[in-house]
Amino acid sequence: MDVISVIRTKRDHGRLTDEQIDWVVDAYTRGEVADEQMSALAMAILLNGMDRGEIARWTAAMIASGERMDFSFLPRRTADKHSTGGVGDKITLPLAPLVAACGAAVPQLSGRGLGHTGGTLDKLESVAGWRALLSAEEMRQVLTDTGAVICAAGDGLAPADRKLYALRDVTGTVEAIPLIASSIMSKKIAEGTGSLVLDVKVGSGAFMKDLAQARELASTMVGLGTDHGVRTVALLTDMSTPLGLTVGNALEVRESVEVLAGGGPADVVELTVALAREMLDAAGLPDTDPAKALADGSAMDVWRRLIAAQGGDPDAALPVAREQHVLTASASGVLTGLDAYGVGVSAWRLGAGRARKEDPVQAGAGIEIHAKPGEQVTAGQPLLTLHTDTPEKFGYALAALDGAIEISPPGTAHQAPPIVLDRIA
């Protein structure tokens, strides 16, 4: 097998054979195929696509590049959730303990933020003492003791994807649907969950900017999961405006705790409960009511045990950034737009995110949102509070918000899109 013929096949709109796929994924993982060759192939895939059979084989090859986890020792059924990434998307934090409180086991292998979308592990690391890196034995123990675990994936899980994702990130080839679907699903299938709910974000703050693309990605992933024996459902959810009222690590933990205490912003509660219902249904527990577990404090109990089991102090004060800057409304009227991408980039520039994967993040940096689209605002009222430890970044962060806020004349009708746009099973 030679790599140039594999690249030429895809470059010339051909179909890769099973043997070509198995070989190229394995040879790239072992270092026999060079980064520049794999990036040419990734670009050919981005431009010319793959059919369902090719995507299935590519996913299987990435799973086979590493180890598979096994949770069959657990007395509970496993359910997992994956979000394609958004701005203010802290849903995993209340969701994992909530679903565990309702009787499923939630092995949640999560990632760090890169670019304008945040990562669950960065958020939880703002809790004093909390550890993202667990050994396989610790992970099993936390899951057995609390019903949930949220931690970093070990190096042995789909190593082909780890290498390929880093390459795509620097070669403009992240946005290929076959590559996104196989990347996400290879990790989820290797993780060994029995059921999976996908939260596919749609809108300016998401990878998928329009509904048609998001539907294609969702149905590709649902097909891959189902073919591998994982009960998989996808919700397409709105990411045109940030989720909730906070963007940034410690700020989002604070809001998640409010949700677990029975309060929190309506959109975060609605999405958390909708995803919990899907996870419980997929795990064969359709009769449990997640809204009740939020209201009666049982989800909060699991959260506290989960944080403590991973070394964190659930009662410790969360970090607060050293400096704040308040952005006020420039006019009176109806707030008709608060663009997720602009807010995400601004929070990232304040220090909530990283430009390279080895960069540190600021726990307290981010943005508090005081008004959401559809609300009446008065000139001079606070719209956003920007938080950072590096105030020299305020100008740069404010520049990202240029054009992100839209205020229309008083009385303008505004219909916010629903949170859940569609369901694909």
- The CB-of-66 to ligand URA minimum distance in angstroms stands at 14
Q: Which of 122, 161, 199, 339 is catalytic?
A: 161
- Residues 53, 219: Cα–Cα separation, whole Å: 14
Contact with ligand URA (CB under 6 A) among 96, 184, 293, 383: 184
**Which H or E element spans position 359?**
none
Q: Which amino acid type is present at position 245?
A: L
- Residue whose CB is less far from ligand URA, 183 or 246: 183
Query: What CA–CA distances, in Å, run from 72 to 106, 182, 193, 249, 250?
Result: 13, 24, 9, 33, 34
Catalytic entry in 57, 77, 81, 82: 82
The residue among 161 and 252 lying less far from ligand URA, judged by its C-beta, is 161
Identify which of residues 180 and 253 has a Cβ nearer to ligand URA in the complex: 180
DSSP for residue 89: -
Q: Do 58 and 182 contact (CB within 8 A), yes or no? A: yes
Between CA 21 and CA 27 the distance in angstroms is: 10
| Structure token digits, residue 262 | 């029975």
Minimum distance between the CB of residue 47 and ligand URA, rounded to whole angstroms?
A: 16
Known catalytic membership, residue 13: no
Residue 105: CB minimum distance to ligand URA, A:
22
Q: Among this protein's residues, is 168 annotated catalytic?
A: yes
- For the bound state, the minimum distance from the C-beta of residue 106 to ligand URA, rounded and expressed in Å, comes to 18
Interactions with ligand URA, residue window 254-283 (CB under 6 A): none
Of the candidate residues 24, 180, 214, 280, the single one contacting ligand URA (CB under 6 A):
180
Q: Are 239 and 338 in contact (CB under 8 A)?
A: no
Among 38-46, 173-181, 293-301, 327-335, which window interacts with ligand URA (CB under 6 A)? 173-181
Residue 169 C-beta: closest distance to ligand URA, Å: 9
190 is a contact residue toward ligand URA (CB under 6 A): no
Which has the closest alpha carbon to 164: 149, 144, 186?
186
Decide: 31 and 3 in contact? Cβ < 8 Å.
no
* Ramachandran class of 184: left when φ > 0, alpha when ψ lies in -120 to 50, beta otherwise: alpha
**Which residue's Cβ lies closest to ligand URA?**
183
User: Which of positions 66-105 make contact with ligand URA (CB under 6 A)?
Assistant: 84
Looking only at the bridges linking them, the beta strands covering 148-152 and 420-424 are unpaired
Q: Contact region for ligand URA (CB under 6 A) — 56-64, 134-142, 174-182, 334-342?
A: 174-182
How far apart are alpha carbons 345 and 114 in whole angstroms?
A: 11
Question: How long is the chain?
Answer: 425
Q: Smaller CB distance to ligand URA: residue 180 or 190?
A: 180
Q: Report the residue from 28, 58, 165, 348 that binds ligand URA according to the rule CB under 6 A.
A: 165
Q: 10 Å Cβ neighbour count for 337?
A: 16
Q: Tell me if 217 sits within 8 A of 181, measured CB to CB.
A: yes
Strand arrangement, sheet containing 366-369? 246-247, 366-369, 382-388, 323-328
By CB under 6 A, is residue 183 in contact with ligand URA?
yes
CB 160 within 8 A of CB 185: no
CB-based contact 363:125 (threshold 8 Å):
yes
Q: Which residue, 165 or 348, is less far from ligand URA as judged by CB?
A: 165
Catalytic, out of 116, 162, 168, 228: 168
**Residue whose entry in the numeric block shows the structure tokens 């970044």:** 393
Minimum CB–partner distance for residue 183 and ligand URA (Å) = 3
Beta strands in 42-94 (DSSP E): 79-83
29 binding ligand URA? (CB under 6 A): no
Can 131 be counted among the known catalytic residues?
no
Instruction: Give whichever of 67 and 169 is closer to ligand URA, judged by the CB atom.
Output: 169
Q: Identify which of residues 156 and 382 has a Cβ nearer to ligand URA in the complex.
A: 156
Binding site for ligand URA (CB under 6 A): 84, 165, 174, 179-180, 183-184
Which sequence positions are flagged as catalytic?
A: 82, 161, 168, 183, 187
